[in-house]
Amino acid sequence: MDERTRAEVERAEAAIVEHYPRLVRLAYLVLPPLMGRHRRVLTAHGLVQRALPWRARRPRPDGGLPAQRGPAAESGYDLVRLRTLRLALAYEGRQGLGLPTVPVVWGLRLFPRAGGVDELALDQALSAVPAAVRAAIGLWHLEGLDEDAARAVLARAGIEDPDAAQRAAGQLDRETGAGAATLLNSGEFDPCTVQTRPTDLLRRRQRVRTSVALAAVVAIGAVVAGVPGGDGDRAGRAETAAQQALDPARLLRTPNEQWADTSRVDFTAWPARGRQAGDKKLLARALRVWAAPPADARITAAADTSTRPPDHPPQLLYAGLIDNVMVVVLHDGERLVRYAEPEDATPTLHFARVDGADLTTGAALVIGRGNGWMRYLLAPWISDVAVRDLLVAGAPVHGLHVAPDGVTDRIPTPPAAGAGCGRWPVAQFRSSTRIVDAAANPAFLLTDLDDLVPVHLTYLPPPSGDRPGSGPREATGPPALAGLAHTACQLRSLRGAGVRSVNIWAFAAQQLPENGGSATWVCTRADTWRGPGSVTVRFLPPATRPADPGRLAGRAANTAACSRFGPHVVGDVHWQAKSGKWYLLAAGSREVGGIDATGGVRATGTSATLAAPAGQNASAEVVGRLRGGGSVRALRP
């Protein structure tokens, strides 16, 4: 217990009152993103309110000996900031910790205001680093401390290696760019300015009498137990909330047309569909299995997706019979849960993170799957869906029938690992003009990688001339389809990894020695729902077959490379000309102004490409020099 004098406690209380939003924002940043936005908001507020120290030490009485001289007492704000950091850091790796006793919010889900693409990308980057690194970033950009002051605070907060935390924070800062400070002060990271969503909608009004009776029973039970207003009462309320989460009558149901009249176009806008959407017995079984899976139940979860029971009534998306299997799909604001009940077989549960879904990544989910086929359940805003083969870039698309409840006909699944790769079916979607202007409504592609939610495919062409390239675009144009044909079969390595999107970036073109033609360098980046991403760099020589994957030049996991927060990339390979002579080839992205090779090959170039004679197996260290200063190492295979 932190014992303080009355004066110190009063200063701390004044600091909390004066700087409350600032402290809550810092706590929210440090808390683990895996907690989910609603729980992080409540926990951040609770931790700051708990940061007020206890007053248990009495000042010395008058006439006593004077205290020894020492360092000046810390300010009230420094004290509560330090206590807030310690409390928030304690949650790292311990998501099972309960919510602080305050505040308590019933019947609402709280979320910070959604930001744009930049805020989302920064949030994903922050979710991939430890709490100590997020704390260092917060002390720099939210608190305005320099490195020495931040190091001292981190050390006092219990960080074992503050210098390592600051080095990692500096790396993240460089990758995310100079706008990180502005983004961290935006509404996306402000847990004091929140949006609310009800958990049981208008059903409360119809159940006033039941609620009053239930409250009376709880109150009587608390009196009998002898714990009025104490821990027993809180436990009773928690039990009631858990019971409400398992009540099929309390499931949230979005109105059918809300998707066309909302600014949040994601899974929260999906209406409840399916012939069994009113079957309370089926819904109750699905909720019970989710809350307490039987021993023989099969449970599948995407990477880093929690399988915890519901803590509030979830939203119903679908309930119906799919290929002789009863299927229920629920959404708790952060996860999708698909319950499948085959005849004479054990039930199955499939969990997937979908926090931060949007128009494209919330466009479909896998409602049924069999041997070599699957079906999608489409978002209500999808107006057209077709199927195409990625390995045949110029092949026409084939229309796909959709049932009135949004379920598609069977779609062939991409080939499994180890099998031949003669085709790669993907679905091509188009959104309704009710929410997207017809002139700016490109089709988009989703592919199945064995998760509950398909993966969004995008393409980023190299910048033309002196104009910088724009952001990723939909991968439906001829250059994008040609790039995807080379990459499609390599997507099999990403199955079941919780991938949200895959972007293909043709970051450089290179004229080969001895009139060998023009080659293309491509970086494929896979971003996961939990934040971290992985990349592969491939070299595509001229005259390759449409589906030839080219040569692997480099790869990396848990990296910002080939994203807007890691826009610089270099790759290198050994290549043999028609004459039989071997060369070291290297190429970099737009801001690479020169390339140096050392080790077994020594060469220097003054542009974004390099070609130097080299032995077939000569080792080389390749580094690109950036036009604005700094360097970037080539990724290794």
Q: Which range is least confidently modeled, 302-316, 510-524, 600-614? A: 302-316
Counting Cα atoms < 13 Å in the Cβ hemisphere of 366 gives 24
CB of 510 closer than 8 Å to CB of 518: yes
Q: Which amino acid is at 67?
A: A
Say which DSSP state 2 is in. -
Averaged pLDDT, 177-189: 73
- Look at residue 441 in the predicted model and tell me its pLDDT: 78
CB of 365 closer than 8 Å to CB of 453: yes
Averaged pLDDT, 185-199: 72
- Whether the pLDDT of residue 70 is over 50: the answer is no
As a whole-number percent, the residues of the chain with pLDDT over 70 amount to 82
Give the burial string for 188-203 (b: 16+ CB within 10 Å, else e).
bbbbbebeeeebbbeb
Both tokens of 107, joined, read 């019947």
As a whole-number percent, the residues of the chain with pLDDT over 90 amount to 50
Say which DSSP state 440 is in. G
Alpha-carbon span 389 to 635, nearest angstrom: 30
Residue 23 burial class via C-beta count within 10 angstroms: exposed 0-12, middle 13-18, buried 19 and up? buried
Q: Which range is least confidently modeled, 128-132, 346-350, 397-401? A: 128-132
Per the model's pLDDT, the better-predicted residue between 51 and 583 turns out to be 583
- Look at residue 26 in the predicted model and tell me its pLDDT: 93
- pLDDT digit string (tens) for 471-510? 789 999 999 999 899 989 999 999 988 999 999 999 999 9
- Look at residue 144 in the predicted model and tell me its pLDDT: 86
- pLDDT digit string (tens) for 88-118? 898 887 655 555 655 666 666 676 766 566 6
Torsion of CA 96, 496, 446, 118, to 10 degrees: 40
β-strand pairing of 194-198 with 108-112: antiparallel
Alpha-carbon span 427 to 315, nearest angstrom: 26
In sign, the C-alpha dihedral spanning 331, 367, 275, 406 is positive
Mean pLDDT (the chain, rounded): 83
3-class DSSP state for residue 538? strand
Residue 572: band (very low, low, confident or very high) from pLDDT cuts 50, 70, 90:
very high
Q: Measuring CA to CA, which residue among 380, 340, 362, 354 is closest to residue 254?
A: 380
- pLDDT digit string (tens) for 582-634? 999 999 999 999 999 999 999 999 999 999 999 998 999 999 999 989 999 99
Averaged pLDDT, 426-454: 91
Domain ranges of the chain: 6-60+70-195, 199-245, 258-410, 568-637
- pLDDT digit string (tens) for 318-368? 999 999 999 999 999 999 999 999 877 789 999 999 998 999 999 999 999
Residue 371 burial class via C-beta count within 10 angstroms: exposed 0-12, middle 13-18, buried 19 and up? exposed
> Helices 76-89 and 131-141 meet at what angle, rounded to 10?
150
pTM of the model: 0.66
